[in-house]
Structure 1
Amino acid sequence: MSTIRQIQVTFDCAEPVRLAGFWCEVLGYVVPPPPEGFATWEGYHDSLPPEDQDPYFACSDPSGAGPRLLFQRVPEGKVVKNRVHLDVRAGIGLVGEERLATLEAECARLVALGAVHVRTMVADEENESCVVMQDIEGNEFCLD
Structure 2
Amino acid sequence: MATIKQFQVTFDCAEPERVARFWCEVLGYVAPPPEGFATWDAFHGSLPSEEQGSWSACVDPSGAGPRLYFQRVPEGKTVKNRVHLDVRAGIGLVGEERLATLEAECARLVALGATRVRLLPADEDNESCIVMQDVEGNEFCLD
TM-score in terms of structure 2 length: 0.96
Q: How many Å apart are 1:18 and its aligned residue?
A: 0.6
Residue equivalent to 1:94: 93
Q: How many Å apart are 1:47 and its aligned residue?
A: 3.1
- SS in structure 2 of the partner of residue 43 of structure 1: helix
Inter-partner Cα distance in structure 1 for 2:75 and 2:109: 25
Runs of 4+ displaced beyond 3 Å? none
Residue equivalent to 1:12: 12
Residue equivalent to 1:132: 131
Residue equivalent to 1:53: 52
Inter-partner Cα distance in structure 2 for 1:33 and 1:79: 31
> Higher mean Cα deviation, 85-94 or 124-133?
124-133
Deviations 1:39-96 (A, max 9, x none): 3101221332210101111000011110000000000100000000000000000000
Which consecutive residues of structure 1, in runs of 5 or more, have no partner in the other structure? Answer: none
Q: Retained in 1: the 8 A contact 2:33–2:43?
A: no
Aligned residues: 143
Identity of aligned residues (%): 79
Q: Retained in 2: the 8 A contact 1:85–1:141?
A: yes
- SS in structure 2 of the partner of residue 65 of structure 1: coil
Which consecutive residues of structure 2, in runs of 5 or more, have no partner in the other structure? Answer: none
Inter-partner Cα distance in structure 1 for 2:137 and 2:42: 28
Q: How many Å apart are 1:34 and its aligned residue?
A: 3.8
Deviations 1:74-123 (A, max 9, x none): 00100000000000000000000000000000000000000000001121
In the alignment, structure 1 residue 27 sits paired with structure 2 residue 24: no
